[in-house]
Structure 1
Amino acid sequence: MTSQAAPIAYLTGEYPRATDTFIQREVAALRAQGQSVETCSVQRTGKAHLVGEEQRAESERTFYVLSAAKSPITLISAVFGALFRSPTRFLRTVLLAIRTAPPGLRNQIYQLFYFLEAAVLATHLRKRGVRHLHNHIAKSSCSVAMLTSELSGIPFSFTLHGPDIFFAPDHWRLDAKIARARFVACISQFCRSQAMAFSHPKHWNKLHIIHCGVDPERYAPGGGASGKQLLFVGRLAPVKGLPILLRSLEQLVQTHPDVHLNVIGDGPGRKALQSQVSSAGLLHHVSFVGYKSQTEVAEALARADMLVLPSFAEGVPVVLMEAMAAQRPVVATHIAGIPELVSDGVSGLLVSPGDVSALATAIDEVLSDPERARSMGIAGRAKVEAAFDIHKEAARLGALLRDGLE
């Protein structure tokens, strides 16, 4: 196989985003292995997410479906081109869109939009000679991918993350997507188990464990800071549990008056979180610094003493992999796929979600025992090198892709 003979396309809802750098890493790793990858996105990413040269470069080379569909000529020619090219496929795709639409007029209208987006994307893929379509995030963009595959005859696969899709698998017709996909890359054993729960057993052989990953060499272990520098990296949304961390911090400052938390990320909860910090008298202990590039996150990890992630729901957070690759101990919640990455008491500490006192105690344990913290960091990096190296995981994904291209 040569990359020119078998180009593939990647699709997601918004690309590139500062919060989804794992997709960029995967694309880069596949390209480094000789695979030609066309990147496609339903929506154009906001400028706030283009925080580094890598994001800006990817943005320039990405095909944006909705931007293209805004041209009446492009949209009409894509729809009627698909109809004239194969009336049978066109009808089958329309029926698939109807059958997989959730109940309600609004959802049916959305399904019509997905069909139109699929027509535009199918035209683009055909022009680019794409032979396989891979989707990340199995919600609306995967609906577009499924319809595009039916309309164009190009097979598709997808990476299943969670956790939000597992809250509404019927709405997003996860069963139909698994049934029609050539394979599904599940990011953890937990993720695979949920896919099995919502699909027919005859399709379970399609479900493969392909971890998201990081490049361990990008996160050279640093010396840390004062021993009291905490770091949080993530979207500022309720699911990340940051209010719990701030309440824990109120307890920690009583015994660690010089503790400080840097918050990397942004989102709809920022204003409320800043208000909580002010009300709790933590203004000198918390800094909100917004989105940062991959390079800047790596630099922040080198300066930090630990990473804390108090989430209520997760897949397998890539930021934990980054911290562990940087030999930083982590404190996180014992949910979903996190225990598959973090061994409690070995590479970090895991606590029940929403437990303020347990989180404060765990952080205190790490702050109070530098030698144990160092040992956890070493164990964490070894775990990432063994099971979450992006080059190894992309090679496994590439093998699945090649099975259908050769």
Structure 2
Amino acid sequence: MTRQDAPIAYLTGEYPRATDTFIQREVTALRGQGQRVETCSVRRTGAEHLVGEEQKAEAKATFYILAAAKSPLPLLSAVFGALLRNPLRFLRALVLAVKTAPPGLRNLLYQLFYFVEAAVLAAHLRKKGVRHLHNHIAKSSCSVAMLTSELSGIPYSFTLHGPDIFFAPDHWRLDEKIARADFVACISHFCRSQAMAFSDPKNWSKLHIIHCGVEPARYDGAETPMGTKLLFVGRLAPVKGLPILLRAMEQLVQKEPDVHLTVIGDGPGRKALQSQTDAAGLSDHVSFVGYKSQSEVAEALSAADMLVLPSFAEGVPVVLMEAMAARRPVVATQIAGIPELVTEGVSGLLVPPGDPGALAQAIAKLLANPARATAMGIAGRAKVEAAFDIDKEAARLRALLQERAR
């Protein structure tokens, strides 16, 4: 087996998750193009994330580091095996773990845990004959990937998303991760600019734009007349800004008594959001339906009239790509990489974050103008097909991997 024919490994903190279907799509697309991919995850996901047969199948085939580390014999074998195989690499990786630890004893302990996890993963990758390790989400799992690379000699790369990594780049040593990576796949120009801000200019040539993407054909539902059905899809967490959307709904129902919002997703904020909904008298206008599979989300988009995403911080939301692929107009906040996907007034409307009045006004504009909403949906589909098709983006990522293998 040549190095180019050998499998690559994908690593993230939890896989597969209902909120991170973009990783699963990328893996599927790479496999469809002939690339062998071993999926690895630090932790097992909760049962609530295994919402479809695709997720269940991926979960069964994924290597879980912490699960493997619970058995003393494999754990000791991985750590001492790494020491005996190459004492110098072992020492360098251990020094790297200590050197990149944020201040404080607790953070140092976490880094040492990451080092042990890296030893377990390195043993698994050697067993599978992996030639390259790619990580998604540049926080703790990327720390494990960096240490695994140092420990094993297997090169690594990572996909940089944001926005939370950009709130604490020093804590997560984004500069060191970029410096040591073969390359970095940045999901947007905004993302790449942030990576440039936190890294040495000599490493900027490693930063490549590789979008997350969707399969446009999955969203080829029949076009429906413009009605009053709104859809939100995402984690029920403060960063998604859903309280702002509920406040906008209070204004909308005064003029559009038939308007209805379906909320797909779950998370720590659900109870508070449902309480806000009840207190505002919106119980008949808002439905919380929990996590749904990719197929169920596609069906929900087909039945909806627009998607609304009032986030305070984002990378480039995949759910916006999904809605646009389904030919649905979108209303979103004008932040980070969103304007690279949604062209204001062409494929959707962009509003300032945290402004329920502006959000309600934008939604009302589309509700009042079905022809414009339909035109935006068509323009959105064209944008996704041109720049956010997962097969095209995966092919660009695979080309980078093959270039490094050569």
Q: Which of the five TM-score ranges fits, normalised by the shorter chain?
A: over 0.9
**1:299-340 Cα distance to aligned partner (Å, 9 max, x none):** 000000000000000000000000000000000000000000
Secondary structure (helix, strand or coil) at the match of 2:312 reads coil
* Shift in Å, 1:6: 1.8
Q: What's 2:283 paired with?
A: 283
Secondary structure (helix, strand or coil) at the match of 1:21 reads helix
Q: What's 1:107 paired with?
A: 107
Greater CA deviation, 384-393 or 219-228? 219-228
Gaps of 5+ in 1: none
Greater CA deviation, 33-42 or 219-228? 219-228
**1:31-53 Cα distance to aligned partner (Å, 9 max, x none):** 00000000000000100000000
Q: What's 1:49 paired with?
A: 49
- Answer yes or no: is the 8 Å Cα contact 2:308–2:331 preserved in 1: yes
Q: What's 2:173 paired with?
A: 173
* Shift in Å, 1:89: 0.2
- Answer yes or no: is the 8 Å Cα contact 1:13–1:42 preserved in 2: yes
Counterparts of 1:94 and 1:39, CA distance in 2: 25
* TM-score under structure 2 length normalisation: 0.99
**1:5-35 Cα distance to aligned partner (Å, 9 max, x none):** 2210000000000000000000000000000
- Answer yes or no: is the 8 Å Cα contact 1:222–1:303 preserved in 2: no
Q: What's 2:234 paired with?
A: 234
- Answer yes or no: is the 8 Å Cα contact 1:16–1:24 preserved in 2: yes
1:296 is aligned to 2:296:
yes
Q: Which amino acid aligns with 2:380?
A: G
Counterparts of 1:110 and 1:118, CA distance in 2: 12
Counterparts of 1:253 and 1:71, CA distance in 2: 57
Counterparts of 2:6 and 2:271, CA distance in 1: 47
| Residues matched between the structures, number | 406
Counterparts of 2:383 and 2:89, CA distance in 1: 47
Q: What's 2:152 paired with?
A: 152
Counterparts of 1:271 and 1:4, CA distance in 2: 49
Q: What's 1:32 paired with?
A: 32
Q: 1:388 to 1:190 in 2, by over 3 A?
A: same
Q: What's 1:88 paired with?
A: 88
Q: What's 2:267 paired with?
A: 267
Secondary structure (helix, strand or coil) at the match of 2:288 reads strand
Counterparts of 2:118 and 2:224, CA distance in 1: 48
* Shift in Å, 1:404: 1.5
Provide the identity percentage.
Answer: 79
Q: What's 2:62 paired with?
A: 62
**1:349-379 Cα distance to aligned partner (Å, 9 max, x none):** 0000001100000000000000000000000
Q: What's 2:12 paired with?
A: 12
Q: Which amino acid aligns with 2:211?
A: H
- Answer yes or no: is the 8 Å Cα contact 1:6–1:405 preserved in 2: no
* Shift in Å, 1:346: 0.3
1:322 is aligned to 2:330:
no
Greater CA deviation, 246-255 or 4-13? 4-13
Q: Which amino acid aligns with 1:133?
A: L
